[in-house]
Chains A and B, each alone.
Chain A
Amino acid sequence: MEISDQGVMSRETFRKQFLDRYAIEGERYHPGKGAVVDGVLLASDRSAVVTVPIWKWKIADGTDRFLCQSSDDGSPPAFSALSHSESDLLNQIGDRLRDPG
């Protein structure tokens, strides 16, 4: 296993992104045809450990898509990030979770 990025987030961010149910009045991404699990986001606090799959697939034009998300609508974890590249996905994850302090 190769850890590509890690950091620290606030308890509030952890609760909101990984533990709480969430409302939806729209649509979330879904892994595309032929998607495979390319990695995993692991988040924890002192009492809980949460994993979110990172899916990878190719779309019709031959380019890659990376999606870090579980698929049930409304059920935690709420966290979702989509990108065209692995490096950008990691940046997005860091930007959205890392404690700004």
Chain B
Amino acid sequence: MSCLACARTRDRQPEPTSSGTNKRRFSAKRDIGNQAMLRLLSGQGRFAPSLPRSSASGGEGETAGKVSPTQMEAEVPADTPGPLKPGDVKAVPHDFVGPVQPGVVRSASFHPTMSVVTPGAGTSDCGAYAYKVKWGIPATESASAGWIVQKVTKQFEATDCDGKPVTPKTMDDTANYPFWEAWEFTAGQNVWVGPAADGNPHSGDTFGGEDYGPGTKGKKVVTGEVKAIVGFTLPSGMTVRNAQPAWSLPYTRTEPPQFASTLTGATHKLTSEWNCCPKGAVTKRTTIATNP
């Protein structure tokens, strides 16, 4: 058995620094620019942007058959050719600047900006990595409030040197994906770690993976789809657990309806590969590719 004790110190100590004893660019690329969207909606020019489709809706095809409540509320990009499914609406991002055409709505979602805080890098020979990006709110949304919500998915494949599958660690087990996590944002372009009421300013979303040791080789891909959703309400069950993987962020394994029904988010992706075979050798130290 082990013991624990909490003790109060008598003396105050200074603010922590990165070198303390407690061991311890890029702008978001919008899928479509406002200017381009404005031209598209006004019918000027020949610009025909390729917008990603909403993952919650095909946006075209047969209208017969039963659809789920989520599908009934789905938004599709404004330039999606019809016909739509019952209940689908054409939408432009919430931060779209300019008049909105009849029949098109302003979505509750837009893309937050993303800046790289810690470029993706291997932190061990055999699979571990660290990568951090910071979300921001564009100036056009400085009066808005809501939550930045990210859907995280993972692909994992690893074997020993004989080609036998390696058992994934908990957070590499694809059975634990996808999940959704969230950061509240408030007027004034403030982004917070979890709820704003906790008073903890957002500093960066981290993808930090674990090492698999000598005699293994493999590949991990972590993908985030991130949206800022104005007026988002945390669904029941989306709570802070202060444990891996999301730590201080509200977390759920069930897709929030407001995430499912809004326009496709921005992409945030890391790919990690390593080869520590034959055992005792490092044929390929952990390599990382990221977007952004």
Contacts and interface: CB of A to CB of B under 8 A. Distances in A.
B248 A23 contact: no
Of all A-B residue pairs in the complex, the 3 with the closest CB atoms, nearest first, are: A59-B199, A26-B246, A23-B171
Given A4-B8, A23-B169, A37-B13, A28 B209 contact: no
A27 B247 contact: yes
Contacts of A2: 7-8
Interface in A52-94: 53-55, 59-61, 63, 65, 68, 70-75, 78, 80-82, 90, 93
B105 to A, nearest CB: 31
A5 to B, nearest CB: 5
Q: Which of A5, A23, A40, A42 has the most CB of B within 10 A?
A: A23
Contacts of A23: 169-172, 208-210, 244-245
Contacts, number: 184
Contact of A21 (B6, B16, B210): B210
A11 B132 CA distance: 32
Interface of B: 1-10, 12-16, 22-24, 123, 128, 130, 132, 152, 169-172, 181, 183, 193, 198-211, 222, 242, 244-249, 251
A26 B235 CA distance: 18
22 contacts: A8-B3, A9-B1, A9-B4, A23-B208, A25-B206, A25-B208, A26-B206, A26-B248, A27-B183, A27-B202, A29-B247, A31-B15, A31-B16, A37-B12, A40-B7, A42-B4, A43-B3, A43-B4, A70-B24, A72-B23, A80-B248, A82-B200
A17 B217 CA distance: 28
B245 A1 contact: no
Nearest to A20: B210
Contact of B9 (A8, A39, A71): A39
Q: Which of the four size classes fits the interface of chain A?
A: 35 or more
Contacts of B208: 23-25, 73-74
Contacts of B206: 24-28, 73-74
Contacts of B211: 21
Contacts of B13: 36-37
A13 B15 CA distance: 30
B112 to A, nearest CB: 14
B245 to A, nearest CB: 4
B15 A82 contact: no
B2 A25 contact: no
Given A2-B7, A35-B16, A75-B24, A61 B199 contact: yes
